[in-house]
Amino acid sequence: MANPETSLKEAASIDGAIGAALVDYTSGMALGTIGGNDELDLNVAAAGNTDVVRAKVRAMEMLGLSDEIEDILITLGGQYHLIRLLKGRGTNGLFLYLALDKNRSNLAMARHRLKKIEEELEI
């Protein structure tokens, strides 16, 4: 089992990673961040992506979908933004956020690694 700091370090080691955050989407606060740059403020991204998660949860409720969200992918011109909702013990209301450089990353592998990180994370 890994703690949040170890999990964020592992997320940051994914090929093409720009930055990662562990976010509480009930408050919009980042519980931890790693990486980022002048163009990507991870605390601002955490708050903004909280709105994305809330909107998707509301849409699913309005549609009457009883399925669970695994992840949400936002594709930009030069980046992927991956949001993985956590389902483990003690992680309700949390998500992992990973920003990737499109030219240096493998999206399928990043999704796979983020799933493994989720499985090992213990809050």
| Cα-to-chain-centroid distance, residue 108 | 15
Please report, in angstroms and rounded to a whole number, the separation of the first and last CA atoms in the chain: 9
Q: What local confidence, expressed as pLDDT, does residue 90 receive?
A: 66
Q: For 57-66, what is the mean pLDDT?
A: 94
Q: Are 74 and 102 in contact (CB under 8 A)?
A: no
Residue 62 banded pLDDT, cuts 50, 70, 90 = very high
The Cβ-side half-sphere exposure at 109, using a 13 Å CA radius, reads 10
Residue 59, pLDDT > 90, answer yes
Dihedral over Cα of 97, 95, 88, 64: its sign: negative
Q: For 53-74, what is the mean pLDDT?
A: 94
Residue 39 banded pLDDT, cuts 50, 70, 90 = confident
One-letter amino acid of 7? S
Q: For 66-76, what is the mean pLDDT?
A: 94
Q: Are 101 and 18 in contact (CB under 8 A)?
A: yes
